[in-house]
A and B are shown apart, each in its own frame.
Chain A
Amino acid sequence: MSMHSAPVGMPGLSAIVRGVIRGTREMPPTVLVCVFLLVTLVLSAMFAPLLVDHSPTYQDLIRRMQPPAWVEGGSADYLLGTDGLGRDMLSRLLYGGRISLAVAGLAMLFGASFGTLLGLWAGYFGGIVDAVVMRVVDVLLALPTLLVAIVLAVAIGPSFWNVVFVVSFLLWPKITRQIRGEVLAVKEQDYVKYAEGIGRSRLSVMLRHLLPNVTPSLVVVATLELGHVVLLEASLSFIGAGIPPPNPSWGVMVDEGRALLATGWWLSLFPGLAIMVTVLIFNTLGDWLRDILDPRLKLR
């Protein structure tokens, strides 16, 4: 089937971008700050090697447990101090950010893609597929997330890709439920009936009409869930079922700092702050996106 217009995802993207640009003019200051912080976060994670001299894994036991530079005993060499094994906190923070954000991003990518396709299918085709999928979704959502994550992670072992898998496995049901709900509404619209009426295959209708129209809702829910995803990875790493050593992730760093909290407050504080700020950013952005995207794109 030849589509003489842009590929499927594109109209959705350009409309979202337009919507965001329109909303930018009315951005409340908190959101502006969040966007700025997010950009900083992502850039610093991407360009971590350029920003820090020290390796995140190089151990220098002589310089262990150095406090941050502005505290007595600290040095400008190690801006945020060093941890129990003499590794530079700042570089661990930045590299850890890389890993935490990468896990979040990948997990979101896989989980949302799978969840969306499943949601589209279940919502549009209905019938037994819908019934089965939704029951599975119901069960998965009823289970306590962290518990399941732990069990899974422990069972399959700690590794970067395993963590991505576990997190995306826990993410997809939420997406599916949301998308399926949207699809149920959108498929009743006249333009969908028209497309069906002129003889388009259901698959074609699903991809050409339903997918772009549920995209805004997807963007909102994905942004909101990013916060959860980051937290989930951090929690897993915190208990040791996530990213294996010596790679830093924020959760790992918080865990390492736990034992030494009395003497090294900076060990857990900075990664903890990083997690908190990141989650806050995503939540705020998600809320704002929901406010500006949904009514606007549903506007006549």
Chain B
Amino acid sequence: MTVANSQRDTSLVGTRVLNPSPATPLIELDRVVVDFEKRQAVFQRGRPDLLRAVDEVSLSIANGESLGLVGESGSGKTTVGRLAAGMLAPTSGIVRANGQVLGQDRGALASYRRNVQIVFQDPYSSLDPRMRVGSIIAEPLFGREGAWSTRSARKERVDELLNLVGLLPDAASMYPHQFSGGQRQRIALARALSSDPRLIILDEPTSALDVSIRAQILKLLKDLQRRLNVSYLVISHDLGSVAYLVSRVAVMYRGRIVEQGSPAQIYRTPQHPYSRLLLASVPREDTSFIMTEDIAVNEPEAIDAGTGCGFRNRCNLRCQLPEPSRCEDTRPRLLAATDNHFVACHGIGARSGVDNGES
């Protein structure tokens, strides 16, 4: 049944299968864990080692809301994105869409996938080089009953979408290699929009693009967000892009969320040592070099966080904690520092002013 939202561009209303009530989050991850098997040597005995990519992550995105996941390689953010897209199943924990658990039910999974779309980082490998752009964009619509079952309806939709992303209609008959990186990302975006999704997962949407094109794509994304009232899950290491598109940010490190808050909170008053390291590392216009070694040390070997804090081997902030060993054996939980600003660190409140980021 369609939900005609007066704020939205009604000409694009398709057949929305899910009808979310305002209170139920669009998507919810409840303490999900994803373990990958490490490749085993040929003659190694026993079970293969497991690599924990996502370590008990919980998050939710409400209808119309957008969330940013910030982290570097190894943080698990890409895996969370894939989880949210329904491309992989968690090792444990629950993924819920509109209150319903996403299990093995093929029907539910299929309709979920139409409501959640993904745009990949690499504009070159995300489009099939052998397909025409029109077919690529219409791919999510194949085999669908209802509004888009006829060829002409699909063609109309493709033209509509091309217009929406700022490409000419004759692009539909061309091949991906005839377009630049930025244009290809637009095509990928048109594809993601074709099934009229409620949530689009953007996995590093602008990292592979030229600097002058990035702003174009970001602006387009913002524009579409407003017009279509679609939610985003933005996964990126680029804080600037993320802040521009979302209302909440979660910082991830080694599979765990270490801080969560509004973009203003995270960027102006980061609390977690890793967030502070990240922000200090980003070159800013107004500041010059910051000695990031004061905050954390060089990249060490990957340690198994185990039951302690995953950042403990790198953390260089001096904390006057009554029990210094808490970082070793107790995993910090996400606790509220201020209003709606959560941090997972034992040292909160136990650091002197300078170490707390206050100047």
Contact = CB atoms under 8 A, between A and B. Distances in A.
Interface residues of B, number: 35
Contacts of A209: 128, 130-131
A263 interface: no
A7 interface: no
A15 interface: yes
A213 to B, nearest CB: 6
Contacts of A192: 128
B151 A4 contact: yes
Nearest to B85: A197
A116 to B, nearest CB: 15
Interface string B125-136: 111111110111
Contacts of A213: 128-130
A212 to B, nearest CB: 4
B154 interface: yes
A212 B143 CA distance: 20
A5 B135 contact: yes
Contacts, number: 73
A157 interface: no
A194 B126 contact: yes
A136 B131 CA distance: 34
Q: Which of A11, A194, A299 has the most CB of B within 10 A?
A: A194
Given A11-B130, A213-B128, A194 B118 contact: yes
B35 interface: no
B120 A194 contact: yes
Contacts of A1: 142-143
Contacts of A11: 130-132
Contact of B124 (A4, A197, A300): A300
A4 B130 contact: no
A12 B135 contact: no
Nearest to A18: B175
B122 interface: yes
Interface in B94-141: 109-110, 113-114, 117-118, 120, 122, 124-132, 134-136, 138-140
A242 B78 CA distance: 59
Contact of B87 (A15, A197, A215): A197
A277 B138 CA distance: 48
Contacts of B177: 299-300
A71 to B, nearest CB: 55
Contact of A12 (B110, B118, B130, B136): B130
Chain A contact surface mostly:
helix
A197 B114 CA distance: 9
A195 interface: yes
Nearest to B192: A194
A26 B122 CA distance: 31
A269 B113 CA distance: 66
Given A189-B125, A190-B120, A299-B177, A195 B130 contact: no
A213 B134 CA distance: 18
Contacts of B85: 197
A15 B130 CA distance: 8
B25 interface: no
A213 B128 CA distance: 8
Given A194-B118, A196-B87, A300-B124, A3 B142 contact: yes
A5 to B, nearest CB: 4
A297 B129 CA distance: 8
A300 B113 CA distance: 28
A193 interface: yes
Given A191-B125, A198-B114, A5 B131 contact: yes
Closest A-B pairs by Cβ, 9 of them: A190-B126, A212-B130, A5-B135, A191-B128, A190-B120, A199-B110, A11-B130, A190-B125, A189-B125
